[in-house]
Amino acid sequence: MTEARLIYEKRGNQAHVRFDNPAAHNALTGAMWHGLRDAARDIASDPAIRVAIFRGVGGKAFISGTDISKFADYETGQQGVDYERDIDECMGAIDAIPCTTIAVVEGWAVGGGINISSACDFRIATRDARFGSPIGRTIGNCLSAASLTRIGAAVGLQRAKRMILLGEMLTAEELLASGFLLRIVERETLDAEAGALTQRAAENAPLTTRATKEMIRRMTFGTLPDVEDLIAEVYGSADFRQGVADFLVRTKKVPDWTGA
């Protein structure tokens, strides 16, 4: 089995980041998250890069979420706070990329997949793409304020609520109509469409792109509340531990949550 990895390449004025863990539908390991953070920082530091493209390997998933096996060892709420801080650092590096960012989505974009695609400036997707974060029906954790703000700003707050509070997976057609997706693309033309969009983005004035993106970043994240007490309560709960245990043995049922 191929080892899970993040592939980062530069090609002229383009940066390409690929999520390569197809055996787990491109679920992100801790090493992949940190590789993503480092790649984003490198992109941000290179003035020659005009556009960055993010894509999953294998054609079945963009990202199916995070590899949660380490959650089985969590015993305290502080471990959850530390984890969400780590994810915020990785996601913040994507938010801070000064060039145009594009997510090319095939299949599932779940959990970290909806978060990372929401951080990108534009998204194109195949017709079978599905987007969501059904954590309230699986492991019973929660998002950070930054993650919730990012997703809510991209898909709309009511759609974010449907993803998280109802555990719905939203279709490409609905998210095209909402404006979240730039377009739906047939698989046989996906590479060509991604290339054309990449070329157009790369032609834009870099200072215009940089200033506009930084303004939007400050507008979006400038007044986030402190929610670490809420995160600690959720990650320190018996419900969370039971949700993780059930998920890891693949019971495929919604846990019997107790609220404690």
Give the pLDDT confidence of 225-236 residue by residue, as tens digits.
999 999 999 999
Residue 254 lies inside a defined structural domain of this protein: no
CA dist 193 and 251 (Å) reads: 39
Residue 215 lies inside a defined structural domain of this protein: no
CATH number at residue 134: 3.90.226.10
For 42, 184, 203, 210, the CA distances from 207, given in Å and listed in that order, are: 18, 29, 12, 5
Average pLDDT value over all residues in the chain = 97
Residue 60 lies inside a defined structural domain of this protein: yes
Residue 202 lies inside a defined structural domain of this protein: no
Residue 243 lies inside a defined structural domain of this protein: no
Residue-range definition of the domain harbouring residue 110: 5-189
CA dist 239 and 101 (Å) reads: 37
pLDDT tens profile 193-234: 999 999 999 999 999 999 999 999 999 999 999 999 999 999
The model's pTM is 0.97
Residue 247 lies inside a defined structural domain of this protein: no
DSSP labels for 114-140? HHHHHHSSEEEE-TT-EEE--GGGTT-
Quote the number of domains for the chain: 1
Confidence category of residue 2, pLDDT binned at 50, 70, 90: confident
Residue 127 lies inside a defined structural domain of this protein: yes
Residue 226 lies inside a defined structural domain of this protein: no
